[in-house]
Amino acid sequence: MKRLKKLIFLSLLVSIGLALGVVESMMPVPFIVPGAKLGLSNMVILITLVLFGFKEAMIVGILKSIIFTLIAGSVSSLFYSLSGFLLSCLTMYIVYRNFSEVFSLIGVSIFGSVAHNFAQIIVASIMMNNIKVFSYLPILLLTSLFTGYFIGLTSIFAIKNLKNF
C-alpha cells in the first residue's frame, strides 16, 4: 500500500508540473530575452527532490518534459527542457545534499535556476550554431535570482504543508 501511495503522489506531481507548464506557456512574459519564463513547473522538481529524493525527481522531471513536449511543444523544445531540467536537478541535488546547512531551499532553487538557464543557453548555442547566444546569459542569470527566489519560497510553503499532510 505504501508503494502505491508513493506512485500516486509522484503521478500527481507530474500532473501538477504539466498543468503549471501549460499555464505558464500561455502567460505572456514581456521580457527582453525571448523564451524567458518563471519556471513554475520547476517547483515540482524541487518538492520531489526534498520529499522523495534524486531518483524520483529525475523520473518526475523526465516524464514532465516528455509529456509536455507531446502536448504543447516541438522536438526542439524537448532538448531545451531536458537539458535545463537535468543540469538543474543535478545541481539542486548536490547543493541540497552537501550544503543544506548553508543554503535554504531558496538558495538551492537559485542554484537550480542558474543551472537551468546555463544549460538552455548551451543547447541554444549548439542548435543555432551561434556562440553569440551567450550574450543573453548575464540577463538570464540576473533573472534566475528572482525566479529562483520565488520558486524556492513557494516550495518551502508547499513542503511544509505536504509534510503535515
Do you know the residue count of the chain? 165
- Residue from 99, 117, 119, 118 nearest 108 by CA: 99
On the question of pLDDT at 107 being above 80, the answer is yes
pLDDT class of 31 with cuts at 50, 70, 90: low
> Is 55 a residue whose pLDDT tops 70?
yes
Mean pLDDT of the chain, nearest integer: 89
Write down the pLDDT at residue 61.
Answer: 94
Q: How far apart are CA 55 and CA 21, in angstroms?
A: 21
Distances (CA, A) of 117 to 9, 56, 66, 111, 121: 28, 22, 19, 10, 6
Give 112-135 pLDDT, tens digit per residue: 999 999 999 999 899 999 898 898
CA atoms of 45 and 53, how far apart (whole Å): 10
**pLDDT above 70: residue 33:** no
Q: Could you read off the pLDDT of 94-106 as tens digits, one per residue? A: 999 999 899 999 9
Neighbours of 77 (CB within 10 A): 15
What pLDDT is recorded for position 25? 80
